[in-house]
Amino acid sequence: MIRTLTISMRFVAVTSVHIVETVFLADILQRLFLSVVEYVRHKPNYLPEDRVRRILRRSFTYRNKSKCLLWCVFLGMVISVTGNLRAVFPSFKFLVHIPLYWLLKYVEQSPLTDLYWLRDSHGLDYATGMALNWFHGRLKASLPERQDDGLKPRMDVYEAKDNVSFGLNQLVILSLDESSNHEILKKHFICKARPLETSRGDRILKHDVYRKKVNDKIYYFVVELAEPMMSFSEALVSGSTGTWQMKELEREIRMRFNEKLAELIHMCPETRNLAIIYKSHDDEGNPVDLTDWLISHMGKKKTKNS
């Protein structure tokens, strides 16, 4: 009985190794084919002196999980050696299924697998690209304090000159889900005031300032609409740019943008604590009232200063 069980377990182990070997062989052949296609169709995308090496490296780089699986296959081959080397390598009845692997490989692709790729920390997704572009091109240029200039020094001068009070000493970034973004400004603020301005070389950078009544007192707020999200809303409804993938993963893209932008602001010492992001919906999908949100943050500011 024990002998039969041992033989059965060995048979299962050897069969499993053969299946995985066949899958990897099929994958290697497919990667080799794609390398040739890449070389032929996209040759100008590479520098001549580095073309072949870079294509091969991109084609045959495996992720850590795949590397671990390869090591398991190698150990399985070692363990399954029975004196007959043919028992280690897959037979023809396994190899004949390689084309089936090529066909079935694309079965796993779905909006969910796209979502896993979007959440990965490679920095190549659409949302991260928008956040990086806006942070480095806009916020990092206008917020930091340099030679008595920056968001907070400009706000201090503004308050002294106009005899007003800012409700928050931070930039309020409105990251909204709706395409009619400007309507929220008319709904929640009394009117627009004189903007904050600063010069960066040959650039004039402005932040809008709005008046709002809170507890029977007029406060001023520095407000900025998240322009990438406005552009994203327009792209969604455009027939030429709004893909079904963007519409399917809209919420994830917006959440990813907000998370990455908040991370960039916090991780950079020059911008930390100089901006906060208002999102029109919380993580549960419930709407967030802007007035309540502002009052809440004003309360936090008052607690810190007291």
Above 80 in pLDDT, residue 195? yes
Give the C-alpha distances (Å, rounded to integers) separating 77 from 87, 91, 101, 142, 216: 9, 14, 21, 61, 78
The whole-number average pLDDT for the span 176-190 is 74
Token digits for 189?
């603020």
Chain-wide mean pLDDT for the chain?
80
pLDDT given at position 162: 92
Above 60 in pLDDT, residue 83? no
pLDDT tens sequence across 109-142? 666 667 667 777 776 788 999 999 999 999 998 8
Neighbours of 124 (CB within 10 A): 10
Percent of the chain surpassing pLDDT 90? 27
Query: Which amino acid, residue 223?
Result: V
pLDDT given at position 306: 46
pLDDT tens sequence across 150-173? 899 999 999 999 999 999 999 999
pLDDT given at position 265: 96
SS3 of 211-240: EEEECCEEEEEEEEECHHHHHHHHHHHCCC
27-30 long-range Cβ contacts below 8 angstroms, 24+ apart: 27/101, 27/105, 28/60, 29/98, 30/102, 30/105
Pairwise CA distance, residues 72 & 80, whole Å: 12
Above 70 in pLDDT, residue 14? no
pLDDT tens sequence across 210-252? 999 888 899 999 999 999 998 888 888 888 888 888 888 888 8
**Cα angle vertex 263, ends 259, 265, to 5°?**
120
Q: Which domains does the chain have, with CATH numbers?
A: 2-108 (no CATH), 126-305 (3.40.50.12100)
pLDDT given at position 23: 76
Pairwise CA distance, residues 201 & 238, whole Å: 36
pLDDT given at position 286: 83
3-state secondary structure of 153: helix
- Cβ atoms 150, 143 nearer than 8 A: yes
Query: Beta strands 275-279 and 166-175: pairing type?
Result: parallel
Edge-to-edge strands of the sheet including 191-200?
191-200, 203-214, 217-225, 166-175, 275-279
